[in-house]
Amino acid sequence: MPIPVEAFFIDRTSPVPLQVQLRRQIVEGVTEGRFRPGDRLPSSRRMALYLGVARVTVAQAYAELATTDYLTSLPRSGHRISDRIEGRITTPAPAPDTPRLDWQRHIDGRFARSARTDRVVDWRRFRFPFVYGQADPELVDHIAWRECAVRALGWREFIPLTADLYGEDDPELIDYIARHILPRRGIRARPEEILLTLGAQNGLWLAAEVLLGRGGRCAVEDPCYPGLREILAMTRAEVSALPVDAHGLPPETIPPGVTTVFTTASHQCPTNSTMPLDHRRALLDRASSQGFAVIEDDYEFEMSFAGAPSPALKAMDAAGTVIYVGSFSKSVFPGLRLGYLVADPTFVAEARALRGLVMRHPPGMLQRTLAHFLSLGHYDAQMNRMRRVYAERRIVMAEAIAESGLTPASGGLGGSSFWMALPRGLDSRALSRDLRGEGVLIEPGTPFFATAEDGAGFYRLAYSSIGAGLIPEGIARIRAALRRS
């Protein structure tokens, strides 16, 4: 890799000779690891011109460093960092007696305190990763995605993609979402009612910040998506956690005075229950009469194995109370980080302005690549493949759970996980620690509940990132661990 000439400078007020200054900068770059073996230095002519020194000054500095094995010189190739300097790379220490800024005086730590600590970043090293939300790379059409990315990089499309969109979104992607994705949930929306987000998490944050950033009261399901609780902890809102039942959130338990209600009606997180139509109507009637907004997180509607899914709350929303949150994380791959909001234009305009303050808009290249992936039929093909594979894995896991005598905590058809219950007195956190030594990764139930101890008797088993052939043995290891408890 060539080292840019801008990496060097000369201090003409220093008593240190110019050649020595240059040598010291090269040595420091090597010892600090910024310059690596094989990196090519600028030519002596270019370096001298940039620094405003005589070429002989640069040549002598290079020659001195070559004699000490910091540099090597090859005919017509200039000077490179020597491959014999590996042992000289050290971690730079702060200068002695240099006062350090006390960052604890400037940071209150509220963001770090609210962040989840239960997630395992290196989950792939576990042989039996029953972890939710991760993708199986074998199910992602890599070739198709690459072709779409190359198409987006074509000169005709690349020129507009290099521009700052000033908060606007790719019209092709918005058009496809409006005409093809949303109608599958029974939703009709105009472009001004759709806003792209960096996934569902970002959509929930935008909604919470716009509606609750100045305070107010909101209601959430209990248990619920832990990321939502993290978001709400950063607002000034008073949060009411409402226990769910076999049908999800009971509308009659919503207290008076709330301004916002968050729900995963179609696929409750994490219990997998589905809110029936009469409960949906009751929720919408209550929202209309009491004047609160409903945030519908429809995070996994594509994974339904019991016929057509129920219509989204947004599809039944005549009063305009629902803000619909969708995402491509489960249907394409989670690393894509693209999703969307559908809501009244007044709300979308405000959320767009907030998004513009924070990040302008999601990367235009990703937007256009996804637009091609959708419009060329790759999305539907991948979804069909995922549904088929997930349905197979669900059957295998259901059979393994039944044979092992493990206890599902709820029913629900679809999605990519099972919500499980432990025998009385056992703690899913301890079980999770025990299973890691067996190569098994499960999700304890505690992060999902407003009161962590309420979730100690539950855990989640997902199958999006584990093959069907490994599921029975993984379940057997869970059973063995429970017998040891």
User: In the prediction, which pLDDT does 450 show?
Assistant: 94
The Cα–Cα gap between 31 and 318 comes to 66
**Backbone torsions φ then ψ of 245, nearest 5 degrees:** -120, -160
Q: At 111, list the tokens.
A: 């963001």
Where residue 265 falls (left for φ over 0; alpha for ψ -120 to 50; beta otherwise) is alpha
Q: What percentage of the chain exceeds 90 in pLDDT?
A: 69
User: What number is the average pLDDT over the span 278-300?
Assistant: 95
pLDDT level of residue 445 (50, 70, 90 thresholds): very high
**Backbone torsions φ then ψ of 274, nearest 5 degrees:** -120, 130
| Among 135, 226, 124, CA closest to 444 | 226
User: In the prediction, which pLDDT does 92 show?
Assistant: 58
> Strands 443-444 and 458-462: what pairing?
antiparallel
- Write the DSSP string, 360-415: SSS-HHHHHHHHHHHHTTHHHHHHHHHHHHHHHHHHHHHHHHHHHT-EES----SS
Identify the weakest region by mean pLDDT among 53-57, 163-167, 366-370.
163-167
Q: What percentage of the chain exceeds 70 in pLDDT?
A: 95
As beta bridge partners, residue 194 has 342
Contact 315, 187 (CB under 8 A): yes
**Placement of tokens 């993708």 in the chain:** 135
Q: How crowded is the C-beta side of 185, counted as CA atoms within 13 Å? A: 27
Q: Which residue has the higher pLDDT, 155 or 381?
A: 381
**Placement of tokens 């093909």 in the chain:** 381
Residue 308 has pLDDT above 90, yes or no: no
User: In the prediction, which pLDDT does 103 show?
Assistant: 87
Which residues lie closer than 8 Å to 108 by C-beta, 6 or more apart?
Answer: none
pLDDT level of residue 2 (50, 70, 90 thresholds): confident
SS3 480: helix
Contact 252, 295 (CB under 8 A): no
Q: Give 392: exposed, middle or buried? Use CB within 10 Å, 0-12, 13-18, 19+.
A: middle
Residue 306 has pLDDT above 60, yes or no: no
182-236 residue pLDDT tens: 999 999 999 999 999 999 999 999 999 999 988 899 999 999 999 999 999 989 8
DSSP letter at 4 equals P
**Placement of tokens 């499980």 in the chain:** 420
Crossing angle (nearest 10°) for helices 44-51 and 18-31: 110
167-180 residue pLDDT tens: 899 999 999 999 99
End-to-end CA distance of the chain: 56
pLDDT level of residue 476 (50, 70, 90 thresholds): very high
Mean pLDDT of the chain: 91
Identify the weakest region by mean pLDDT among 27-41, 251-265, 388-402.
27-41
User: What number is the average pLDDT over the span 278-306?
Assistant: 88
For the chain, the farthest-separated pair of C-alpha atoms sits apart, in whole angstroms, at 86
Residue 67 has pLDDT above 70, yes or no: yes
The Cα–Cα gap between 137 and 300 comes to 18
SS3 290: helix
Taken in order of first residue, the domains within the chain and their CATH numbers are 5-88 (1.10.10.10), 119-137+381-484 (3.90.1150.10), 140-377 (3.40.640.10)
386-399 residue pLDDT tens: 989 999 999 999 99
**Backbone torsions φ then ψ of 128, nearest 5 degrees:** -125, 80
CB neighbour burial string for 30-50, b if at least 16 within 10 angstroms, e if fewer: bbeeebeeeeebbebeebbeb
User: In the prediction, which pLDDT does 94 show?
Assistant: 60
DSSP element (H, E) containing 226: helix 226-233
The Cα–Cα gap between 75 and 338 comes to 50
User: What number is the average pLDDT over the span 126-132?
Assistant: 95
Contact 418, 278 (CB under 8 A): no
pLDDT level of residue 305 (50, 70, 90 thresholds): low
The pTM for the full model equals 0.83
Contact 368, 153 (CB under 8 A): no
C-alpha R_g of the chain: 28
Scanning 405-470, the segments in alpha helix (DSSP H) are 428-436
345-364 residue pLDDT tens: 999 999 999 999 999 899 99
User: In the prediction, which pLDDT does 18 show?
Assistant: 93
Q: At 398, list the tokens.
A: 């259901």
Residue 457 has pLDDT above 80, yes or no: yes
| Among 251, 304, 244, CA closest to 268 | 244
**Placement of tokens 């690459």 in the chain:** 146
75-123 residue pLDDT tens: 777 899 998 876 655 555 666 677 888 888 888 888 888 777 778 888 9
User: What number is the average pLDDT over the span 248-273?
Assistant: 94
Contact 279, 251 (CB under 8 A): yes
